[in-house]
Chains A and B, each alone.
Chain A
Amino acid sequence: EVQLLESGGGLVQPGGSLRLSCAASGFTFSNYVMTWVRQAPGKGLEWVSFISDSGDRTSYADSVRGRFTVSRDNSKNTLYLQMSSLRVDDSAVYYCAKNSTVDYYFDSWGQGTLVNVSS
């Protein structure tokens, strides 16, 4: 069974930094593209970033490019999202998602971790 467990969320002041982690199990992590999606309270889903299976290719939403960095450690089956220069509008539940075998839709999701950017 695929399991994705996010951690690292919390309260941070505007301008601060936070690193999210997503521990994966139940599948061969190194074979899959992984994605971060966020959801502001009471709002819809927003795609944030993806990283290729080997980690050599990444992509970001305009809203986070230059402030967020996605990475992965295939030896630890873990996905990361380093967030810096955080803004109030970055407050959201951050989900990690496993891409399908064949393309950029998401067949498994974690439960999410809440990031609250507030002074």
Chain B
Amino acid sequence: DADVTQTPRNRITKTGKRIMLECSQTKGHDRMYWYRQDPGLGLRLIYYSFDVKDINKGEISDGYSVSRQAQAKFSLSLESAIPNQTALYFCATSDSGRGRNQETQYFGPGTRLLVL
């Protein structure tokens, strides 16, 4: 969905390096999410934020941190990257309202991360 953008799209880094993945949205949604996708494991939630002052851990938050800089921006950081963080990372947004888009998540195109 072009309304949710992620940068970079691809990244190669070395073990121990700090990296940041960024997500921006123009949908005006209040909720934002970070997931990682690994083959055979589906999507697993890393962190989520229901508004600018609300940050919550997901299933697999260890080794990651996030920052909600504004309603439209939600960044994911790997403080010291390790090889098992090699994965495809997705940002998603949703609206807390109860209209026809209730509970629907809209995904960015993903960031493919390789940690050597």
User: A and B: partners?
Assistant: no
Instruction: Please list the residues of chain B having a beta carbon within 8 angstroms of any beta carbon in chain A.
Output: none
Which residues of A are interface residues toward B (Cβ below 8 A)? none
